[in-house]
Amino acid sequence: MPHFVIAYAKEKRIPPYLEALAACGVPAEDVFLATPARTAGVDLAEVVGHADGLMLTGGSDLQPCLYREARLPGVELDMPVAERDQMEWDLLDLARAARVPVFGICRGFQMVNVFLGGRLYQDLELQRGQTGHDCFSDHGFALDHFAHAVAATEATHPFAESFRRVGPLRVNSRHHQGIRELAPGLVACAQAPDGVLEAAATTDDGWWVRAVQWHPENLIALPEQRALFADFVAAAEAHRREREGAARPVEVSG
């Protein structure tokens, strides 16, 4: 069974991610839970070296300095946490070097994009006049509230093809920021009706990365949402086999 790292911030938010992996056959004991406090003094290189999948979850806004900006006047940022930003940056750096598969969710999508050189809208409503994406629970919305649809882009990438096969998906939505400039090396795979980018993947066949802007962990009862985690687990399993094969000594006959 492959081993996973989940980066997150709040304990109360972790169960749905664990349940989503469990639905795909991954027991909780095969998951390392990474927060700044938990990883203080921990060798992240060793953690990632034993991992076969890295999941970046939802949470607070990224620091604008990570994508070469200052906070815009009038923008209310949701409590950026520099320590979490740095931890996830380091995890991504190590994952890229080791070719560990990555699945980014909501903030995780934004972190992947920024790490690879992309930029964000600090506030979709302020900068684009778009609403309907910020259906937060403290606004009275259920975690599985269907906010809008997403549909495949015209990309030929397998991730885009997967959305095309199932048709438009109804998704939940809990973000006020979004992708402004997609990073080099990523391809847009799905978008909302208003054009907000909702899913992307790496173009590098050697590094499996998928990311979505919604929260499929709260929609795990739906087969098309559960499939996102199943594909991640399958990529991790392939990485595990490759990693263990590389570590196996070569037998020399004679």
> pLDDT, tens digit, for every residue of 71-81?
999 998 988 89
Q: Which residues are catalytic?
A: 106, 215, 217
Binned at pLDDT 50, 70 and 90, residue 247 comes out as low
Q: Which residues contact 4 (CB under 8 A, 6 or more apart)?
A: 21, 26, 30, 31, 32, 51, 52, 53, 54, 55, 236
Q: In the CATH hierarchy, which fold is given to the domain comprising 4-247?
A: Rossmann fold (3.40.50)
Is the pLDDT at 133 greater than 80? The verdict is no
Is the pLDDT at 55 greater than 80? The verdict is yes
Give the model's pLDDT for residue 91. Answer: 98
**pLDDT tens digit string along 168-208?**
999 999 888 999 999 999 999 999 999 999 999 999 889 99
Taking residues 247-252, report their average pLDDT: 59
Binned at pLDDT 50, 70 and 90, residue 252 comes out as low
pTM of the predicted structure, to 2 decimals: 0.94
Q: Where are the domains of the chain?
A: 4-247
Binned at pLDDT 50, 70 and 90, residue 239 comes out as very high
Give the model's pLDDT for residue 46. Answer: 96
Binned at pLDDT 50, 70 and 90, residue 12 comes out as confident
